[in-house]
Chains A and B, each alone.
Chain A
Amino acid sequence: MAEVQLPEAPSRARVNEFAIKLANVNGTGSASTNNLLMQTIFRMGVPVSGKNLFPSNIQGLPTWYEVRVSQSGHTARTASFDLMVAMNGQTYQQDIEEVASGGYLVYDDSWPLNPEMRRPDITFLGAPLAQLCAQRFTTVKERILMKNVATAGLVAALLALPLEELSKQLVAAYSRRPQLLEDNQAALELGYRYALDNFSCPLPFHVEQMGAPDGRILIDGNTAVALGAVFAGATVGAWYPITPATSVMENFVRLCAQYRRHPGPDGREAHDYLILQAEDELAALGIVVGASWAGARAFTSTSGPGLSLMQELLGLAYYTEVPAVLVDVQRAGPSTGMPTRVQQADLFSAAFASHGDTRHILLFPSDPRECFLHTVQAFDLAERFQTPVLVMSDLDIGMNDWEVPELTWDDSYRPDRGRLLGTEELERLEHFWRYGDPDLQWTTPRAVPGETPRAGHLVRGSGHDLRALYTERPDEYQEVVDRLLRKHQAAATHLPPPVVELREGAPFGVISMGSCDLAVREALEEFPGPAPSYLRITGYPFPPAVAEFIEAHTHCYVVEQNRDAQLRSLLLIETGAGGERLRPVLSYGGLPITASFIRDRILEQESPQ
């Protein structure tokens, strides 16, 4: 790819259209500084995204935070940075390399920079932040923490962020700790003043107020999932900690404590929820299956390694037709892989989880707002179709703050409990056959334990007939599993509908899912020539619109974040499309996919060498 030559004097277009990266050491309190900057830009009404690239480590390893500001709404990750704030000596070399030509690099010149590292095409701005903080603060801990805040002040001056806005946030955060507030304010000003006095502020690219961020919020996907579970009426949660899924259940705990504690008749506060931190993921899903079988809305959250452990129980829930909701916050790699990096690589192990003939319902949210919506819907689908539903989030959506339209709620919503029969209905029945009498969606009557003697039956993972009785007869076994397949197919049109954007004269189609969405849109918008069509898959099984989209184009690019083209394979299996029609575009290094990557990969294949 040819190097893009930046104009000498950056034009007006660079206002509200740039990216910065902050390099830090983890465990030094840089997260709150990053947040401060991101929040301030968000409140100025400018579309912004922040991506936290952190190591699987508690203290001492490099960590980065990338902020992309884009008034045109292109907030997918970019790999080109206009400003690098290099506060970690260990990573100078790499950080310097990542600055776009014509860009800037801020570093701490309390220590000299190796002259060999200098690049002629970028501007180096040295600020002795460590020295300044050492003069102002006494303890080592304070100096380290406050250096981060001083960095925020410095960046604020460079990017024309109003000091009052940052300081307002500090007040909100430390209102109950006056000493800490005073220190933070002092550090903030220290950095801010230093920049004003020593550099020509602001830089050519900077932020200008665009109005209040009306109707928009900053939220991460894991918080949104937890909110969805609370609003959908989940009462049982079971989990085993794993990055990047941990904060799903941590948030569920917090939200339940906030919304689900009510004084009981005896005046004692009762908790309308029961959350178990299980001993492993087998138990976590076992608890969910048991609770769902007994009638509760129950869910678990996990990531790849946990999903692997849950395979057998997913097969049990599928075959015995017990609802279960599982949120898979996908991370990179087989085995431990790269736990703090992102991929969409669990499609195979989720779609066909477990041995034997199994198929599950998957949902693919593309941002935190959809995490909320899909989670609520997952509970309805799980009960309607009496089967596990897997919400396929990922680390990028789950753990980063995204700017999305405010979440809304329809107060007339009531859970869809599917064919869960009440005592009266059961008692009116001539007979209760757990797996007999299918409806149009191929679901059968369900009864929970403890209600009426009319419902007596034993659910089993072994071969069973319509009455749930043990069988090894081929016809009886097949009757049940054939219905399960039809039921799975019937679910296709009940999932969130795919996003189909057909464009007249499109040279090809692009198919993607989940967190690729923003990068794909950005790539397509700037694509040379007639605009390609776009299909965003939102669930599995695929509704007919998916095959129709493929049919309508000579070929499609399937953009996804894994090595093995898992979405493409699923499309090949399910739509019968020929392999040559679906061309893979695969990003799997663990960092969120970028528009330029997608554009380049497609261009390579579109313009024959």
Chain B
Amino acid sequence: MTSIAKPQIPLLPLERNQLGLTIRDYSGSMSTLCAGCGHDSVTAAIQEALWGLSIPPYQVAKLSGIGCSSKTPQYFDAAAVGFNSVHGRMAAVASGAAAANRGLVVVGVSGDGDSLSIGLGNLAHAIRRNVRMLYVIANNGVYGLTKGQFSASADIGSRSRKGEPNLLPPVDPMLLGLSLGATFLARGFSGDKAQLVPILKAGLSHGGFALVDVISPCVQFNDHEGSTKSFRYVREHELQDIEADIIPVRGQIHSEQTPGAVTEVELHDGSRVLFRAVPEGYDPRDRVRVGSYLVESARRGEIATGLLYLDEETPDMHQLSETPEERLWDLPFERLCPGSAELARFQARLR
């Protein structure tokens, strides 16, 4: 089976972004995922966020590991160069790409198996390095592509389709990220695009590693009674009380009135995020409070969503490495090679 080109159904005149591009200019091939799979909504939200921020489609480097979720870079932004790598290693491969070219808009899409099981080590260290990228975990609590085994994010007691309960504690990427010094942590739900798109936009505008955990139910293996990653469970238990709007620097304010206590944080590229936090005293920059909020909501069986944590102070990988503004990959060779005279001088002390 080859990939399928998307039929271009004529629609009403489509809205254009600042580059004069429509959402279609950010689309890819037809999805080959199961009908109703949460991952397709994640793809659509990424596409919309890129379009909404008027990012030139070819400036994106899209990467993934292996899994149903990791197939999705084929389904958006066909003008970009992408890399569907190996299971669990996307964070490392993306770190390398970001190192070579700091001008890229690096978008990584992964699954809970890809990121929290086999690739946990590489994810953890990409977070620590604060590689500037958007890293999306399309989290369904199972291994979709290998047909329904529990992943490391399955909740205790959550049942497989055959009915066996999961006995091991889940890895929560938000709590994990918090302990690793992550600089941007957000959670969304594939079924709630209105919340997800602004989160993704904020992640794309962030000056470091933006980790976005998206609950994305698997309709084949994990969307049944007893699964905490089912559409129904999430709808009933989602805590949407940390509201965040993004005001991109490139104009186009996607923000309604923001009454109540508003916390404003400026992002790397000058855009601003406005937090309207319902929980009393919720400060997205207070690691300790965010941590206890996450633990408490998890204990109640609730899923805290929204932009949960933000730190725009910590330098990213390039700042830490003191690299130049230019891209490393095509620096002029003359600047890189010391030349024959230096080689002779270097060897003077080896004689």
B-binding residues in A (CB < 8 A):
43, 213, 216-219, 227, 230-233, 235-236, 238, 259-260, 262, 264-265, 268-276, 278-280, 282-296, 298, 312-313, 316, 320, 406-411, 413-415, 447-453, 455-462, 465, 469-473
Q: How many angstroms from the CA of A219 to the CA of B121 in the assembled complex?
A: 37
CB contacts (< 8 Å) of A451 on chain B: these are 58
Which of B83, B91, B122: most chain A Cβ within 10 A? B83
Q: A217-B347, A408-B340 are in contact. Are A233 and B333 (CB under 8 A)?
A: yes
Contact stretch, chosen from B7-15, B197-205, B219-227, B323-331 = B323-331
CB contacts (< 8 Å) of B124 on chain A: these are 279
Q: A286-B93, A287-B95 are in contact. Are A453 and B100 (CB under 8 A)?
A: no
A294-B129 in contact (CB<8A): no
A461-B84 in contact (CB<8A): yes
Contact stretch, chosen from B73-81, B155-163, B233-241 = B73-81
CB < 8 Å: which of B3, B78, B85, B103 contacts A450? B103
A256's nearest neighbour on chain B, judged by CB, is B336
**Residues from 316 to 338 in B contacting A, C-beta threshold 8 Å:** 317-318, 321-325, 327-331, 333, 335-338
B79-A456 in contact (CB<8A): yes
CB < 8 Å: which of A227, A273, A290 contacts B97? A290
B25's nearest neighbour on chain A, judged by CB, is A453
**Residues from 1 to 33 in B contacting A, C-beta threshold 8 Å:** 1-3
Query: Known pairs A283-B121, A450-B101, A458-B74. 4 more at Cβ < 8 A?
Result: A286-B122, A287-B99, A294-B99, A460-B83
Distance to closest chain B CB from A396 (angstroms): 18
A411-B339 in contact (CB<8A): yes
CB contacts (< 8 Å) of B187 on chain A: these are none
Q: How many angstroms from the CA of A41 to the CA of B234 in the assembled complex?
A: 76
CB < 8 Å: which of A227, A236, A274, A293 contacts B83? A293
Q: How many angstroms from the CA of A213 to the CA of B2 in the assembled complex?
A: 65
CB contacts (< 8 Å) of A292 on chain B: these are 96, 100
A471's nearest neighbour on chain B, judged by CB, is B2
Q: A274-B323, A411-B340, A470-B1 are in contact. Are A294 and B84 (CB under 8 A)?
A: no
A286-B101 in contact (CB<8A): no
A455's nearest neighbour on chain B, judged by CB, is B81
Distance to closest chain A CB from B127 (angstroms): 11
Is B35 close to A, CB under 8 A?
A: no
B99-A449 in contact (CB<8A): no
A287-B92 in contact (CB<8A): yes
Is B59 close to A, CB under 8 A?
A: yes
Is B113 close to A, CB under 8 A?
A: no
Distance to closest chain A CB from B236 (angstroms): 37
* Interface residue tally on B, bucketed by range: 35 or more
CB contacts (< 8 Å) of A406 on chain B: these are 344, 347, 351
Q: How many angstroms from the CA of A283 to the CA of B122 in the assembled complex?
A: 6
CB contacts (< 8 Å) of B325 on chain A: these are 264-265, 270
Q: How many angstroms from the CA of A287 to the CA of B335 in the assembled complex?
A: 23
B328-A272 in contact (CB<8A): yes
Is B86 close to A, CB under 8 A?
A: yes
B338-A458 in contact (CB<8A): no
Is B152 close to A, CB under 8 A?
A: no
Q: How many angstroms from the CA of A231 to the CA of B334 in the assembled complex?
A: 10
A457-B95 in contact (CB<8A): no
Q: How many angstroms from the CA of A260 to the CA of B129 in the assembled complex?
A: 22
Q: How many angstroms from the CA of A408 to the CA of B96 in the assembled complex?
A: 31
CB contacts (< 8 Å) of A459 on chain B: these are 81-84
A270-B2 in contact (CB<8A): no
A274-B99 in contact (CB<8A): yes
Q: How many angstroms from the CA of A312 to the CA of B78 in the assembled complex?
A: 27
A294-B104 in contact (CB<8A): yes
Is B215 close to A, CB under 8 A?
A: no
B328-A235 in contact (CB<8A): yes
Which of A286, A289, A460, A472: most chain B Cβ within 10 A? A286
CB contacts (< 8 Å) of B85 on chain A: these are 286, 289-290, 316, 461
Q: A411-B340, A448-B81 are in contact. Are A274 and B318 (CB under 8 A)?
A: yes
A-B CB contact pairs (8 Å), 10 listed: A265-B325, A275-B321, A283-B95, A286-B95, A287-B99, A409-B339, A449-B104, A450-B59, A456-B77, A470-B2
B93-A289 in contact (CB<8A): yes
Q: How many angstroms from the CA of A217 to the CA of B93 in the assembled complex?
A: 39
CB contacts (< 8 Å) of B80 on chain A: these are 449, 456
CB contacts (< 8 Å) of A274 on chain B: these are 99, 317-318, 321, 323, 328
Q: A282-B89, A287-B93, A453-B58 are in contact. Are A231 and B324 (CB under 8 A)?
A: no
| CB 8 Å contact bits of B23-51 with A (1 = contact, 0 = none) | 00000000000000000000000000000
B324-A264 in contact (CB<8A): yes
Distance to closest chain B CB from A84 (angstroms): 29
Q: A230-B338, A264-B325 are in contact. Are A213 and B351 (CB under 8 A)?
A: yes
CB < 8 Å: which of B98, B337, B342 contacts A233? B337
CB < 8 Å: which of B92, B342, B344 contacts A259? B342
B73's nearest neighbour on chain A, judged by CB, is A458
B101-A312 in contact (CB<8A): no
B104's nearest neighbour on chain A, judged by CB, is A450
Distance to closest chain A CB from B116 (angstroms): 15
CB contacts (< 8 Å) of A282 on chain B: these are 88-89, 92, 121-122
B337-A231 in contact (CB<8A): yes
B342's nearest neighbour on chain A, judged by CB, is A259
Q: How many angstroms from the CA of A561 to the CA of B129 in the assembled complex?
A: 40
A235-B333 in contact (CB<8A): no
Is B138 close to A, CB under 8 A?
A: no
Q: How many angstroms from the CA of A337 to the CA of B80 in the assembled complex?
A: 45
B87's nearest neighbour on chain A, judged by CB, is A312
Q: How many angstroms from the CA of A380 to the CA of B59 in the assembled complex?
A: 27
CB contacts (< 8 Å) of A232 on chain B: these are 337
Is B94 close to A, CB under 8 A?
A: yes
**Residues from 209 to 225 in B contacting A, C-beta threshold 8 Å:** none
